Amino acid sequence: MLSERRLEVLRAIVQDYVGTEEPVGSKALTERHNLQVSPATVRNDMAALEEEGYIAQPHTSAGRVPTDKGYRLFVDKLAGVKPLSAAERRAIQNFLDASVDLDDVVGRTVRLLAQLTRQVAVVQYPSLTRSTVRHVELLSLAPARLMLVLITDTGRVEQRMVDCPGPIGETSVADLRARLNSRVVGQRFTEVPQLVQDLPEAFDLDDRGAVSAVLATLLETLVEDTEERLMIGGTANLTRFGHDFPLTIRPVLEALEEQVVLLKLLGEATDSGMTVRIGHENAHEGLNSTSVVSVGYGSGGEAVAKLGVVGPTRMDYPGTMGAVRAVARYVGQILAES
């Protein structure tokens, strides 16, 4: 087990390295943090920390740099979450309060997160799985063509074309619309299938084909849309990544363009707490030199989606975690109000 002082040394190394972006040596450490011991002692501690794999030297005769394992220990044991200042919190609230619709909420959240953390921000649109149906609308566009519009309690709207096997009259459409709504409004997506399965039986034989087509499209929309949409922002912050550019930044940009990768990234966060994945803990290898801080947010007590930031492993963890948590909290409030 590492002594108290050695942990203190590790903390100091992480803080200094994050600040200066340069390997930190024993002398500088004793000067900047009042460790009350000599550089030589610190060197011994560093040797021990290196032995255990918490820090590493880029090359002999250079200072030490934290490893992924070192950051992990730092995040788990040594650092808290740094709360935002009152002014910052007010600014967040004002900025988000000005949103006009769901797209705007998400867009603003992304910009806000990117700006606060000076990193790349990722925000998932509120999930449909946990959402409930607010309204289903059916419109006749042509005799055998309908448009289905689904509106959720989170303010999301999805629409699909439905091509029916045969024409369906306006009154039948109205009837179907009414019956559909009376059954599914206020219900969770997951419960919809069983609630509508016997609907075709209530209609004339002539119309059943069309009704079935509508239901099929509806169910498909519910399922398909569980694949969430995302918005990302602040990619310009990647330029602050490091000096050895193209190689570092490229795989990250590529990873960020793949929705699937991003969704997985966020997906691993648990509902309750914040998740921090450091360097190689990220499954995707393009993100091996990045850390991801993510958290769920929700309108009620439950999380409906996730948001987070992607940055270099050398990031200000307490500050980033503070910002992510605060933003998630406010977005939740905004969603609850609307």
Partner DNA sequence: TTCTGGCACTCACCACCGCTGAGTGCCAGC
Partner DNA sequence: GCTGGCACTCAGCGGTGGTGAGTGCCAGAA
Q: What is the CA radius of gyration of the chain?
A: 26
Q: Is 27 in the site for DNA (CB under 7 A)?
A: yes
Round to whole Å and give the CA distance between 55 and 48.
9
Count of residues interacting with DNA (CB under 7 A): 25
Round to whole Å and give the CA distance between 335 and 53.
44
Q: Is 60 in the site for DNA (CB under 7 A)?
A: yes
| Chosen from its own copies, DNA, none, partner binding at 37 (C-beta under 5 to 8 Å by type) | DNA
Q: Give 230 or 324: the residue with its C-beta nearer to its own copies.
A: 230
| Chosen from DNA, its own copies, none, partner binding at 25 (C-beta under 5 to 8 Å by type) | DNA
Q: Binder to DNA among 21, 38, 101, 254 (CB under 7 A)?
A: 38
| CA 137 vs CA 62, 172, 201, 259: distances in Å | 67, 13, 20, 29
Q: Which residues inside 116-155 make contact with its own copies, applying CB under 8 A?
A: 134-135, 137, 139, 141, 147, 149, 151, 155
| Chosen from its own copies, DNA, none, partner binding at 139 (C-beta under 5 to 8 Å by type) | its own copies
Round to whole Å and give the CA distance between 99 and 161.
30
Q: Which two tokens stand for residue 27?
A: 């002398």
Least distance in Å: CB of 158 to its own copies?
A: 8
| Chosen from its own copies, DNA, none, partner binding at 26 (C-beta under 5 to 8 Å by type) | DNA
Round to whole Å and give the CA distance between 219 and 101.
25
| b/e code 255-291 from CB counts within 10 Å (16+ = b) | bbeeeebbbebbeebeeeebbbbbbebbebebbbbbb
The C-alpha angle with vertex 234 and arms to 233 and 238, in degrees rounded to 5, equals: 130
At 123, phi and psi to the nearest 5?
-130, 130
Least distance in Å: CB of 130 to its own copies?
A: 20
Q: Which residues inside 242-261 make contact with its own copies, applying CB under 8 A?
A: 245-246, 249-250, 253-254, 256-257
Residue 63 · residue 24 · CB < 8 Å: yes
Q: Which two tokens stand for residue 202?
A: 């209530």
Q: Is 229 in the site for its own copies (CB under 8 A)?
A: yes
Q: Give 89 or 179: the residue with its C-beta nearer to its own copies.
A: 179
Q: Is 197 in the site for its own copies (CB under 8 A)?
A: no
Length of the chain: 338
Secondary structure of residue 276 in the 3-state scheme: strand
User: What is the contact surface with its own copies in residues (CB under 8 A)?
Assistant: 100-101, 103, 134-135, 137, 139, 141, 147, 149, 151, 155, 157-161, 224, 229, 233-236, 238-239, 245-246, 249-250, 253-254, 256-257, 338
Q: Which stretches of the chain bind DNA, using CB under 7 A?
A: 5, 23-28, 36-41, 43-44, 46-47, 50, 57, 59-64
